[in-house]
Each structure stands twice: as C-alpha cells, then as structure tokens.
Structure 1
C-alpha cells in the first residue's frame, strides 16, 4: 500500500501523520509551531518527515497551510500566523530538501475538501465550511468545486467585521476564534495559566457568568454564519475545528440564528464537520491526489 505524509500547520501546533492510499491514518502526532524562524520551521518539518521515512516507504507529502496559497506553485503570499512563511515557497524548499513531491493547499480549503470527498458534504455542490481554531478559517464550494478567488484569498471570512466596539471594528479572528474565548474567560476568572476550551464549555453548565460569556462568543460566530449564508445561499453550513466536537456550540448557533429576522427565508442545515481536527490533514491528502493527477495529465 502506498503511504503519504500529511501535515496540518496551525498557529499553535503542527499536526502530522502517515496516511494510506485508502485515506486511513496509520499514525498521528503533533509538535509546537515555530511561527517566526524559517530555518527552525523547516528543520522541525524535515525531522518529522525523516522519522516517517526511516520506518516507511513514502510516496509524497501533503500540507494544509494557513493563508493565501497558490496551489500550482506552492507560493504563500501570506501564511496566517506563521509569519516565517510569508512570501516563501514551502513546496520548493521541501522538495529540494527531501526529494519527494509536495502539494500545499489552504487549511480552510482542505477542511472543505475532506468534507466534500468523504465527509458531511458529499451530497452538496454548494456549501460553506467554517473552521474554528485559534482564528477563523474556511472554504467555499460552488458548483461542485472549491472557489479560491482571483488571488487564492477566497474563504478568509475571519477577516469579516462582525462587531463594532466603541467605534473600533473587530473581525471574526478577534471575536470568534478560540483564543478570544480563552482570553475572555481568563479575564472573567482573573487567571494567568492556560485554559482549554473544554473546561469553559463544561463550566458553562453550572456557572451563569461563564454561560453568558460563552453565548456572547457564540453570537459572534452566528453573525458570521448568517452573513455568509445570506450572501452565498448554499445548501449546507459545516462547522469544523476541535471545538465543533462540543454539541452545545452547534445547538447555540442554531438557536441564535432562529432569532434573526430573515433566517426563516434563508435557513439551511448548520451542522458539525465529520472530521473536525483531522479535516486539514485528510483534505491535504485528497488535494495531493488531485494535483498529482493534474500534473501527470499536463506532462
């Protein structure tokens, strides 16, 4: 069986794994993301690749990366929080170092691709995927294919302005990412130590102040969902990222949407992604397969 190395680069950690040609994961792990030093970022990735290749015959490397990615060349105009990769070409860097084919796609697009190929959007030609992590990402499917935009920047709805606070505009990255939720919770509880999102959801069941904070945070997400749905009129809205495993998140988004005046006219299913934290890696693998077929056909 052919095997492939997959990466999902996030602002906090780099998830990676070994996947078979049937799309099943054989191994999975993660390491902290080096966001600012290019040499260290590449060294960390090359070391992970080396460990897999020491034990397995590997056919290629598929990467899910934040930011504006030219899928044909691998060039990143911007790479989200991973500033080391701004205006860099990770595909060229890695192929020169490890001598394996590399394909790279935007992380939100990867999540959408995974859901379209084998997840909760297999029956849809037009749908939106929103991923909730440190910030907000996502992908848009129109007429059965990813819509990337003129400069590979479509789907960056984390940049949507969803809140005006005393004259200051705030986008969805600032209001709706899990980093925002954790920051607000730590302020409420006067905490210095890190906090996991699961703790906040659990505590909201018994603490009215935490529940109010959580519902306000979910309200920012619901506004973003509403704006996207009334703009694109898709068949389905999928919510991804690790936090989508919390049933209350999806329930509360839908509850709040019911309060919007015109939601009844535009209403569609708002459901969790099937793959959650694995969507980026799996979607990168599916993208790799498609790009390999494309490049072979062009020869």
Structure 2
C-alpha cells in the first residue's frame, strides 16, 4: 500500500509518500490561508506522488473520527466544524483519514519507535506549547471530549498551565521579561551551558514544572514508559533533568518503585507523517 501523507502545521505543511514503513519524496509548502487553497495545494502534491491508494493526514485540533470533522480550536480555524473528511475525499478522489498531530506522533513511537515494547505509555511533546497522547493497553485514549493528552492545560502549581511553564520558548520569554536580555530558547540553553547561574535557575524551574506534571500523570495512570518529543528532547541533559525531577517527587511520597522508563522519542520531524500513515493502515484494515 502506498499513501500520500500530509502533516498540517501552523506555518507549513509537510508531505511525503509512504510505502513499506518508509517515507520518501518528502517536501513542504507554506500553510495556505483558506481551505480551498489547502485543497489545491494537496492536489498539486498528489500529482507529484503518483500511484497512491489513500491520503493520511496529521492535523491540529480535536479530530472526531466518528463525526468525520475536526473540533476544538487551533491556529487554522478553517479546518474546524466542517465535513472535512467528506470534502477531502470528494476533492482528492481517494479515501482520507485524519488524526490529531500529537496523537499521530505518539502512534509512530508506539508502533515503530521507543514505545514498541510498552503496554501502557504516556507521550509528551514539548514545543512552543505542550501536547501529548495516552496509550492504555496499547490503544490510544482520546477521552470523552477528545482532550486526552492535552497535558499543556494541566496546572502543576494550581494557577498557570504547563504550556506556559514547561517550554524553552516561554521560559526564555520569562527570562527576557525579567532581565531585559532578549533571547530564544536555544540561546537560554547556551547561556546555561556556559555556566550562567540565572539561566540555569530558569531552566531548573522549567524542569520542575514538567517533573511535577509527570508525577501527577504517573500516580494517576501508572504508565511503564514516558516518551518525550519535541526539539528539546534531542538534548540528553533535558531527559536527564526531567527524569531526576520525576524520581524526586515519587521518592518524596515513598513510591519510587513506580518510576517509569523516561526516554527521548526516536522520531522527530517525521513523527507526525509516520503516525498518520500507520493510523490510515489501521483504520483501513
């Protein structure tokens, strides 16, 4: 089975051909401003990826597969609350599946990546915001309102959501506002690496917020593995620091024996594409 796969993001749309568990003919285009322009762009790429039998899509928003529409909110409002499955199938002339982008990334890790051996798992992706996915008995748990895995909305200290406390982008913004030194997340890490104590303190607060959130998830769900994705997960020290915090919080309550495996994800930029393709294959069996 050969598929065309699309990963719709706020600024760009990635695409590729998928066959025999491999991506090829990868490319991207700027995210269109309207649904009609999105359809045209997809049609153009399908002409470049011939002989496919379906289209698999990773999308922002709460994807309601049963209702065949995308609910919730995202930066691309034109995707929401329309019969998007039916519209795309009619326009593209092929069967179409759509799943949430974080869910797709989690699926890629569970099937082909770091979570292959796991029965119960949590996947958390740390980018500009924080999202993720929950897998129970290797099945994706989406929840009654399709909000399963929206870890960025958790409030580790009861007031501010994790997406504001637990990302390098927002931690760097807080550093800049409080010090007057404008820098990016990458630059904040660089300052800490160079020995800047203030930068280290800001990153320590970020790790604390993530570790406390994972503590709450661990005692609530008891997964055997926590997989961390997003650009920061490529730094070994990030994984190490998060792991230390999680163990500390568990040990403080004398339940360190339930400490899960904490690992970086295997797939990064391709995770959403791969997960979308795997989702298609599972749905169409």
TM-score for the superposition, normalised by structure 2? 0.88
1:205 aligns with 2:205: no
- Structure 1, residues 49-98: CA drift from partner, whole Å, max 9, x if none? 41342353332221112222112343112143333323234322322222
CA offset at residue 14 of structure 1?
3.2
Cα distance change of structure 1 residues 44 and 249 upon mapping to structure 2, 3 Å threshold:
same
Secondary structure at 1:276's aligned position in 2? coil
Judge which range, 261-270 or 176-185, deviates more: 176-185
Alignment of 1:132-151 (within 5 A): 132-151=126-145
Cα distance change of structure 1 residues 191 and 42 upon mapping to structure 2, 3 Å threshold:
farther
Cα distance in structure 2, aligned partners of 1:5 and 1:286: 12
Cα distance change of structure 1 residues 187 and 157 upon mapping to structure 2, 3 Å threshold:
same
Cα distance in structure 1, aligned partners of 2:172 and 2:2: 37
Aligned alpha-carbon RMSD (Å): 2.3
Cα distance in structure 2, aligned partners of 1:58 and 1:232: 39
Cα distance in structure 2, aligned partners of 1:183 and 1:41: 33
Cα distance change of structure 1 residues 292 and 42 upon mapping to structure 2, 3 Å threshold:
farther
1:259 aligns with 2:248: yes
Match of 2:48 in 1: 54
1:94 aligns with 2:92: no
Cα distance in structure 2, aligned partners of 1:10 and 1:185: 27
Q: How many residues matched? A: 281
Secondary structure at 2:157's aligned position in 1? strand
Secondary structure at 1:69's aligned position in 2? strand
Cα distance in structure 2, aligned partners of 1:30 and 1:188: 37
Secondary structure at 2:237's aligned position in 1? helix
Cα distance change of structure 1 residues 10 and 189 upon mapping to structure 2, 3 Å threshold:
farther
Unaligned 5+ residue runs, structure 2? none
CA offset at residue 250 of structure 1?
0.4
In the alignment, is the contact (CA less than 8 A) between 1:7 and 1:14 conserved in 2?
no
Match of 1:9 in 2: 8
Cα distance in structure 1, aligned partners of 2:29 and 2:206: 28
Unaligned 5+ residue runs, structure 1? 294-299
Secondary structure at 1:88's aligned position in 2? coil
TM-score for the superposition, normalised by structure 1? 0.84
Cα distance change of structure 1 residues 44 and 71 upon mapping to structure 2, 3 Å threshold:
same
In the alignment, is the contact (CA less than 8 A) between 2:89 and 2:95 conserved in 1?
yes
Cα distance in structure 2, aligned partners of 1:213 and 1:65: 32
1:271 aligns with 2:271: no
CA offset at residue 289 of structure 1?
0.8
CA offset at residue 232 of structure 1?
0.4
